[in-house]
Structure 1
């Protein structure tokens, strides 16, 4: 299969995990290539995600690297082949590439956990609320850019409504519930939508009130996307310049798991959170 100059996040992650297996085995790319019967450049391109790799090749690499973890090998084999031609591919020319990668990441997730202090989670936003957010971006977006971002975001939400959707937990600070993007009517509609979403059995919304203290945060929103195994989880960080940063180092994953667990322990339970949102609607 020919190489690609624009591997997706999923392809890059597969290559990264194969590099980790090789390095744990103490092998150089040259030695690995000799064991696999390919040239060194092929190994390098596989590890950067530029060359698609088959499930059989994954298993031969795992054997050459003395990897005994069959569950990990099976999970990596499931990530092989060319990029999935999902709906997100049609946006590759219209929104930042990181947002396309995020949509693919969410599509393959086994569970999703998010934490936000000043915004409603993207997958729980109404169209009017999302539009108000995009209209407030600095510098201003062109109208066509807003429409591309908006339709992309709405399609991302399909992951919560597909057959066998992943469990989704959103930790939302009270500050986010009090932001008035779009005005009172839009805000009221957004809060009612949150209540409606909590009726779905796989969705949990947990609110952190202002009077809660001692919870860990730097003020940065993030998504924690769970893979088929913990070592294949991914953290996605937002930034003011519109890009997404993806983290997958073991220490980073452990840190953000701990942060999420701590934030959940500080948040209201699901029932109390629903009541909190309901009272917020009444205040408008």
Structure 2
């Protein structure tokens, strides 16, 4: 049996989705758009589904036919055509759920990242021992080899914070997550010391919601907000029992921007957040 063809990269699928949205705003059918471009209707459909790559010039031509006057958006879409190589996450294609690979791809291209966690330390800030302890709590239990694949994948994702010109990263963490002792006191102490160390980096902000807060404007779900080069290309990931649910629906993006803004408004300032982490370490 021949090997299965991997799905299109999430970035190419997003480009196709945005081109479809532009077309639909002009009330053009795929057939009508194809006639204007001098291509087949199937070609347009395949571009919009992310199955076919498309050049920057073709993107600009499509945007012109679709009467898009937002030059920043057109430039951002054209820029999404340049990277045809598959990333490091593809080595995990047959090992891990597709959603984890898509999250890594989105983070790799992000201009900024905002996350919020209530029970867990954010994945990009976890130590290997802490991540291994978390995956060991999965229900039903994960096989030992899959736990190691997940730990390896999570640690490789963290490279985005240590590259040249890294994205601005803001982590909103509830005090409950800091006090959970996954893996025991020694693992917890090492994890909290790691948080303090990374919080010293200029592009990383860690803000804690203390137990004494009188407001809590969200559920206990974790949120990963991944900023694109323009707001229309943002994506939000919501933690669920089966993994991260990714969406680029405009109304949900607006909702979670507001949720994160409100959560951030009740956090301690970064210096007081760091002091709280130090205090929790002393109490271990």
Q: Which runs of 4+ in 1 moved over 3 A?
A: 81-84
Q: Deviations over 1:83-140 (max 9, x none)?
A: 4322111111111111111111001000000000000000000010001011111111
For the pair 1:224 / 2:225, whether they are aligned, the reply is yes
Residue equivalent to 1:212: 213
Residue equivalent to 1:195: 196
Q: Report if the CA contact (8 A) 1:53-1:81 is conserved.
A: no
Size of the alignment, in residue pairs? 280
Residue equivalent to 2:117: 116
Q: Deviations over 1:164-184 (max 9, x none)?
A: 000000000011011110000
For the pair 1:177 / 2:178, whether they are aligned, the reply is yes
Residue equivalent to 2:99: 98
Q: Deviations over 1:10-51 (max 9, x none)?
A: 111111100110011111111001011111111111111111
Q: Deviations over 1:170-211 (max 9, x none)?
A: 000011011110000000000000000011100000000111
Q: Distance in 2 between matches of 1:83 and 1:179?
A: 42
Q: Deviations over 1:40-79 (max 9, x none)?
A: 1111111111111111110110111111111111100111
Residue equivalent to 2:253: 253
Residue equivalent to 2:271: 271
Q: Distance in 2 between matches of 1:108 and 1:272?
A: 31
The 5 Å alignment of 1:69-108 reads 69-80=70-81, 83-108=84-109
CA 1:100/1:181 → structure 2, altered by over 3 Å: closer, same or farther? Answer: same
Q: Distance in 2 between matches of 1:273 and 1:82?
A: 39
CA 1:85/1:5 → structure 2, altered by over 3 Å: closer, same or farther? Answer: closer
The 3-state SS of whatever aligns with 1:171 is strand
Q: Distance in 2 between matches of 1:72 and 1:84?
A: 23
For the pair 1:155 / 2:156, whether they are aligned, the reply is yes
Coordinate RMSD, CA, aligned: 1.2
The 3-state SS of whatever aligns with 1:238 is strand
Residue equivalent to 1:64: 65
What TM-score do the two structures reach when normalised by structure 2?
Answer: 0.96
Runs (5+) with no aligned partner, structure 2: none
Runs (5+) with no aligned partner, structure 1: none
Residue equivalent to 1:40: 41
